[in-house]
């Protein structure tokens, strides 16, 4: 399969098929696809070959965001510590929540359908999640699975952490979500998809801490990552934006990568995106993350992102997410107050 084709972890896929959660008709459909592609679950797992997202599009041709959410829930519900291939050993031996989430930096080793970016602030860590499947339904599937898997792994390894939240851009389900104890920590119709972990939670100690095994596992991750992973141009461009979104443009990125602008655009087109789209995605994600930090003024955020004044930034932010920066911050503060007052109440948008 092409190296840039989005896929999901083969072990997670095998465990889901084995438990029968997909239904008999869907399971048979996946079996027919594997016969046609001349592969089986054993060979996929042995080769650590990601299961192509296009298989899911074939089995679920009308998948929308709500369908993607339900499928993501099914995947995450059956996720085990063994579901994540080479990440499994360091996961089990992690000493803290911070060490668990650090492993997301190696996410491309097990899935190319999802990307994660880390944003540290005074209040904690925000992990923005973005689907890379170029379809709203399968993007929602990938993001839901990834976000819920993080919550599930943290609970398995470090115990209950009710203050960790998963925000999703997909609409609230029409029926009560069936993901157990984390239902009250889901926020739907959010302007961006992200996991938010308060600062104190990052220091929570894991149950099976083994510092030696963790160091060995991380070293092996880096070796495999460096050996296998040639960073796609999408990631290289995003890394350039990280250095200074206010001053980086296409010409500067091309110079840094020692290629022409036209060659850069051609590579990005082959990966299903454009410079303009990547820039807008980055600006939106960075704006959301910075607005989550109450200690940062809107004017400072506007300047960081290269806007000449707050009004221009507010106009752009409203276009991206459907509300002004001040309204977003006010709404978020209200959610936090309600959660603090009644932690067992379902978050807005989750039906009882």
- Do residue 200 and residue 261 come from a single domain? no
Question: Which of 224, 258, 290 is the last residue in one of the domains?
Answer: 224
| Structure confidence at residue 339 (pLDDT) | 52
Q: Is residue 109 part of a domain?
A: yes
What is the pTM (predicted TM-score) of this model?
A: 0.77
Looking at residue 343, what is its pLDDT?
A: 46
Q: Are residues 91 and 166 in the same domain?
A: yes
Please indicate, yes or no, whether residues 91 and 207 belong to a single structural domain of this protein: yes
Residues 6+ apart with CB under 8 A from 152: 76, 77, 79, 182
- The pLDDT value recorded for residue 126 is 93
Report pLDDT for 333.
64
Whether residue 35 lies inside any domain: the answer is no
CB 250 within 8 A of CB 275: yes
Q: Are residues 204 and 238 in the same domain?
A: no
Same domain, 155 and 298: no
In a domain, 17, yes or no: no
99 lies in the same domain as 121: yes
The two structure tokens encoding residue 230: 């040639």
Decide: helix, strand or coil at residue 13. helix
> Domain range spanning residue 328?
233-270+273-341
**pLDDT for res 230:** 57
Residue 349 maps to a domain: no
205 and 263 in a single domain? The answer is no
128: in domain: yes
Residues 210 and 303 placed together within one structural domain of the fold: no
Residue 131: strand pairing partners: 114
Please tell me the total count of domains within the chain.
2
Looking up residue 322, the CATH number of its domain turns out to be 1.10.10.60
DSSP class of residue 259? S
- Walk along the chain (352 residues) and give the pLDDT tens digit of each residue: 334 578 888 888 988 888 888 889 999 999 999 999 999 888 888 888 889 999 999 999 999 999 999 999 988 888 787 788 888 889 999 999 999 998 888 888 888 899 888 888 888 899 999 998 878 999 999 999 999 999 988 888 988 888 899 999 988 887 766 655 667 788 898 888 999 999 999 999 998 899 999 988 888 888 877 766 556 788 888 888 887 777 678 888 888 888 888 888 988 887 778 888 888 888 988 898 888 888 889 999 999 898 989 999 999 999 988 899 998 888 776 665 555 554 443 333 333 3
CB-side neighbour CA atoms (13 Å) of 339: 17
Same-domain check for residues 258 and 197: no
Residues 145 and 260 in one domain: no
Quick count: other Cβ atoms within 10 Å of Cβ 41? 18
Beta strands in the chain (DSSP E): 7-8, 51-52, 114-121, 124-131, 165-167, 186-187, 194-198
Helix, strand or coil for residue 96? strand
Q: Are residues 302 and 161 in the same domain?
A: no
Neighbours of 36 (CB within 10 A): 9
Report if residue 53 sits inside a domain.
no
Is 54 within the bounds of a domain? no
Q: Which residues contact 279 (CB under 8 A, 6 or more apart)?
A: 241, 245
Domain match, 209 and 248 both = no
Instruction: Indicate whether 312 belongs to any domain.
Output: yes
């Amino acid at each position: 399969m092409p190296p840039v084709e989005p896929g999901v972890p083969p072990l997670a896929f095998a465990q889901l098929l084995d438990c029968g959660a997909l239904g008999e008709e869907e399971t048979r459909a996946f079996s027919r696809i594997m016969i046609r592609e001349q592969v089986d679950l054993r060979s996929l797992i042995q080769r650590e070959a990601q299961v192509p997202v296009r298989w899911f599009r074939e089995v679920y041709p009308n998948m929308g965001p709500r369908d993607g959410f339900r499928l993501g829930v099914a995947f995450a519900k059956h996720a085990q510590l063994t579901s994540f291939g080479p990440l499994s050993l360091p996961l089990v031996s992690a000493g803290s929540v911070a060490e668990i989430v650090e492993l997301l930096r190696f996410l491309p080793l097990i899935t190319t359908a999802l990307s994660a970016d880390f944003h540290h602030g005074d209040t904690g860590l925000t992990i923005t999640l973005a689907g890379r499947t170029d379809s709203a339904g399968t993007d929602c599937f990938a993001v839901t699975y990834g976000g819920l898997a993080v919550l599930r792994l943290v609970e398995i390894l470090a115990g209950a952490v009710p203050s960790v939240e998963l925000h999703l851009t997909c609409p609230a389900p029409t029926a009560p979500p069936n993901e157990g104890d984390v239902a009250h920590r889901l926020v739907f119709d959010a302007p961006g998809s992200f996991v938010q972990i308060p600062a104190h939670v990052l220091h929570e100690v894991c149950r099976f801490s083994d510092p030696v095994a963790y160091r060995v596992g991380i070293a092996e991750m880096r070796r495999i990552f460096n050996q296998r992973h040639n960073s796609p141009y999408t990631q290289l461009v995003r890394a350039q934006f990280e250095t200074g979104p206010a001053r980086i443009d296409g010409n500067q990125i091309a110079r840094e990568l020692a290629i022409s602008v036209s060659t850069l655009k051609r590579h990005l087109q082959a990966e299903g995106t454009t410079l303009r789209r990547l820039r807008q995605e980055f600006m939106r994600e960075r704006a959301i993350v910075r607005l989550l930090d109450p200690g940062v003024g809107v004017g400072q955020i506007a300047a960081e992102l290269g806007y000449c004044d707050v009004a221009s930034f507010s106009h752009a932010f409203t276009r991206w997410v459907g509300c002004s920066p001040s309204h977003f911050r006010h709404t978020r503060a209200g959610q936090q107050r309600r959660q603090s007052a009644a932690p067992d109440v379902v978050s807005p948008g989750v039906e009882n």
